[in-house]
Amino acid sequence: MAAADPMTIRITGLTAEHAAEVLAIYQLGIEERNATFETAAPRWEAFDAAKLPDHRHVAVDHDGRVLGWVAATKVSDRRAYAGVVEHSVYVHPAARGRGAGLALLNALIVSTEAAGIWTIQSGIFPENTASLALHQRAGFRVIGTRERVGRHHGVWRDVVLIERRSPRIT
Ligand SMILES: CC(C)(COP(=O)(O)OP(=O)(O)OC[C@H]1O[C@@H](n2cnc3c(N)ncnc32)[C@H](O)[C@@H]1OP(=O)(O)O)[C@@H](O)C(=O)NCCC(=O)NCCS
């Protein structure tokens, strides 16, 4: 992938037309082994069914190529948690460090706040310093660290829980 000019990043809705690129970027992130417990990207049908339609966005360059994506899922069917979602954000390795991740998180914050969603949460491996820094920059706070919460390729991993509570939804 050619380097992207930061000025050409555009955020738009993540739809089926982006499926192949989105899942390829997901797979590249998975293969780095510091993004998620998942070991393979899902099929589009499963991804599409899980991600909230109004809270999935892609960053594209001037040619419409996907640089990265963000998407959220419901965390619970309980009424008290109706405004709480969990998100994932992935940027193509060749497009990192140019503001796409931050633009995607900001788009998610805007779309969720507009829908009355008050908390966005996620879990990050402590080794994933880029993601921890990105989320801190976007206004997320660290809740704490879950110790050896799951096995990843046979190794117990810690997970740092993070959240952003919207100040606008009171
Ligand atoms: C984490 C990730 C999404 C960041 O995306 P990105 O487009 O490179 O991030 P941005 O360019 O928008 O960076 C925004 C801010 O995040 C921080 N940041 C991003 N990458 C960083 C790095 N490698 N080291 C330190 N800070 C970093 C910086 O504060 C940066 O702001 P600055 O450039 O003004 O200093 C990207 O590295 C990625 O896709 N990683 C693999 C998948 C993954 O781990 N996803 C998160 C799962 S929890």
Is residue 47 one of the residues assigned to a domain? yes
DSSP single-letter state for residue 80: G
Place of tokens 């599409």: 48
Task: Tally the domains of the chain.
Answer: 1
Question: What separation in Å is there between the alpha carbon of 29 and the centre of ligand 1?
Answer: 12
- DSSP letters along 1-60, please? -PPPPGGG-EEEE--GGGHHHHHHHHHHHHHTTSS-S-SSPPPHHHHHHHS-GGGEEEEE
Identify the domain containing residue 70 by its residue range: 6-120
Per DSSP, what are the bridge partners of residue 86? 73, 121
CB-based contact 103:8 (threshold 8 Å) = no
The CATH number given to whatever domain includes residue 42 is: 3.40.630.30
- Is 114 in a helix, a strand, or coil? helix
Is residue 102 one of the residues assigned to a domain? yes
Cα pseudo-dihedral 134, 104, 26, 33, rounded to 10: 0
Is residue 167 one of the residues assigned to a domain? no
- Residue 128 CA: nearest ligand 1 atom is 44
- pLDDT score at 2: 52
Is residue 142 one of the residues assigned to a domain? no
Please give the C-alpha separations between residue 63 and each of 115, 135, 150, 165, in angstroms, as whole numbers: 30, 27, 40, 35
DSSP single-letter state for residue 153: T
Is residue 134 one of the residues assigned to a domain? no
Question: What separation in Å is there between the alpha carbon of 101 and the centre of ligand 1?
Answer: 6
- pLDDT score at 3: 55
- pLDDT score at 39: 97
- pLDDT score at 7: 56
- Residue 125 CA: nearest ligand 1 atom is 48
- Residue 124 CA: nearest ligand 1 atom is 48
- pLDDT score at 36: 98
- pLDDT score at 15: 98
Is residue 164 one of the residues assigned to a domain? no
Is residue 144 one of the residues assigned to a domain? no
- Residue 122 CA: nearest ligand 1 atom is 48
Chunked mean pLDDT (size 10), the chain, 170 residues: 66 98 98 97 98 98 97 98 98 98 98 98 98 98 98 98 97
- pLDDT score at 67: 98
Ligand 1 mutation target, pool 22, 87, 102, most atoms within 8 A of CB: 102
Is residue 129 one of the residues assigned to a domain? no
Ligand 1 mutation target, pool 1, 134, 137, 157, most atoms within 8 A of CB: 134
